[in-house]
Structure formats: structure tokens, C-alpha cells
Amino acid sequence: MLNENDKDLSMRKQCGLLGIARAGLYYQKRPEKSYNVRLMNMIDEEYTRHPFMGVPGMTAYLRDIGKKCGPKRVRRLMRKMGLMAVYPKPKTSMPNKQHEIYPYLLREMTIERPNQVWSTDITYIRLNHGFAYLVAIMDWHSRSVLSWRLSNTMDSSFCCEALDEALRLYGAPEIFNSDQGCQFTSEAFISRLKAKQISISMDGRGRAFDNIFIERLWRTVKYQDVYIKGYATMQEAQEGLAEYFQYYNHGRLHQSLENRRPWDVYKGVAAAGQAAINYGCC
């Protein structure tokens, strides 16, 4: 919207017309300190092992292993990572108060077919010298990952990109479930669901397990891929996660699916050995 080459309007006047401060044009966000990044990685590992760990417990854990930190620092880092202790309590998510919140529609519902319910969530991905955020769209019935995106910011744009891809490739679900995070309650995200006449469901406050399947996905991704490979850069993470999600959908047998592959279940294949899509060739 701003044009530095405009000869008629100076940057001062353009900022005045748009109602923004000129200082914001020149401000560059400072990267997180390396010590804080190391703390975030340790928090991520402990949270993945014990998702009930809140700020007091996480602070005690870090101090016990010899790290210097206080609850204020741990709280800030956990918020930056999008982590909340998983147990029933008030204020389990921090939605934008200006955004509309929708009721949870999946309580006591039997999920029995693909595209009946999709869900989404965001998780923290560690890198050698920084971090990134991963969003995925999952089909609840088959546990298939329909689309995903990696980003270095927690805005709504990469979530919208993942949603657009899933809708373009696989049609529309009957119900779409998410938490009450501002990325998923934003007008940009909600408008896409409304345009397809998709029923919108959101996890209730104090409901720790409303989106449990995708929480289990994050645990699997981290233990079977991220922690093992130790990605150094966003590019490495992008390539490695693409390979892993290909394996997850088309190669990995799930006990909860009677030892079938998620993609077999999504496509309606009766048994894992009768897969219509051969892993490694698709």
C-alpha cells in the first residue's frame, strides 16, 4: 500500500493517510536469543512427553536440569510456542475477543466416513538456530494429513493456504473443527469455510481432548521425524516433513485403524495389503 517512489506523497503523508506510525516501517523484529531458543526446544521436548505440564511445572523442570529461568520467561516462551497445559481448566485458549466463537459439534458424534470431519492445529517445530510453526489439516475418520504448511510466523496466512489446498484437492468436509486460536477464528479463515457451507466447530474452553487426534499426530511427527533428524533450516524441515507425511499417509500402519494406512482408509481400501496407491510411487 505504501509507495516509496511516489513523488507527490511523501512517506510521512502516506503514513498519515493510512493512520500508521512511520516508526513501524523501519522496525525490524529482533530474533529470539539463542539461549531462549534452547529453552524453547527443551520445553517442546518435555511438553511432548508430558502435555499436562504448565508454567510452574515446566519452570521447576528446567531449573532441576540446571537451566536459569523464571516463570515469567517460561510463560512468555510457552505462549510464543502456542503451548498450554493439557488438562481441564478455564482459559485453555486465547482467542481474539473480536472474533466469533462457534460451539463444539463433535460431542458424542460417531465419525464413520472420510470428509465427515476435518480438524486443524498448529505446533512448534525446532530448528538448529531458530524455530518454525507447522499447521496441518487432518481427516478425522482416516487420520490422513490432507495438507500442511510451515511458517516462521504464527499469522493466519499459512493456515489459510493449507485450508485452500485441502479444499481444492479433496472437496469440502461436513464439519471443520479447530481450537479457538485467533488464526482459526479470523475472518480470512472463517470466510473460506462459510463459502463452502461447512459447519464450523471449535474446541470448548476447559475441554482438553476435543482435538485429540491431531494432538497425537504432533507427538508422532516429533518423535518419529523432527527429533531424530534435527532440522537445521526451514528448507531442510520443509523437505524432511514432506517426505515424512508421504510415509505417514501411504506407508505407516496404524494400530487404531486395524493396521491399515491412513490413505487406504480415506480412499476406502479394505485392507492394508490391497492399497490402491503404492507408497513411494505417488
The answer on 174 and 123 residing in a single domain is yes
**20 domain residue, yes or no:** no
Assess whether pLDDT exceeds 80 at residue 176. Answer: yes
The answer on 203 and 156 residing in a single domain is yes
Assess whether pLDDT exceeds 50 at residue 281. Answer: no
**192 domain residue, yes or no:** yes
- Chain centroid to CA 274: 32
The domain that contains 195 carries what CATH number?
Answer: 3.30.420.10
For the segment 199-205, the average pLDDT, to the nearest whole number, is 83
State the Cα–Cα distance between residues 147 and 152, nearest whole angstrom.
17
Assess whether pLDDT exceeds 70 at residue 202. Answer: yes
**136 domain residue, yes or no:** yes
Range in 40-44, 226-230, 275-279 the model is least confident about: 275-279
**157 domain residue, yes or no:** yes
User: Model confidence at 205, in pLDDT bands (50, 70, 90)?
Assistant: low
Assess whether pLDDT exceeds 70 at residue 210. Answer: no
**22 domain residue, yes or no:** no
- The pLDDT score that the predictor gives to residue 211 is 74
**91 domain residue, yes or no:** no
The answer on 121 and 57 residing in a single domain is no
The answer on 145 and 68 residing in a single domain is no
Contacts (Cβ under 8 Å, ≥6 apart) of 120? 135, 136, 137, 138, 159, 162, 163, 176, 177, 178, 184, 214
Assess whether pLDDT exceeds 60 at residue 70. Answer: yes
- Chain centroid to CA 171: 21
For residue 149, the SS3 value is strand
For the segment 105-114, the average pLDDT, to the nearest whole number, is 91
71-96: pLDDT as tens digits: 999 999 998 888 876 544 433 344 54
The answer on 212 and 146 residing in a single domain is yes
Pick the closest to residue 209 from 52, 47, 43 (CA basis).
52
C-alpha cell at 66: 540446571
The answer on 128 and 41 residing in a single domain is no
**154 domain residue, yes or no:** yes
- The pLDDT score that the predictor gives to residue 130 is 86
Q: From residue 41, give the alpha-carbon distance in Å to each of 50, 66, 230.
A: 14, 15, 11
**51 domain residue, yes or no:** yes
Number of domains into which the chain is organized: 2
| Domain span holding position 168 | 117-274
For residue 229, the SS3 value is helix
250-271: pLDDT as tens digits: 999 998 899 999 999 999 875 4
- The pLDDT score that the predictor gives to residue 4 is 67
C-alpha cell at 27: 522496525
The answer on 123 and 67 residing in a single domain is no
9-33: pLDDT as tens digits: 776 776 666 566 665 555 455 678 8
Q: From residue 14, give the alpha-carbon distance in Å to each of 1, 3, 26, 27.
A: 9, 8, 15, 17
The answer on 187 and 75 residing in a single domain is no
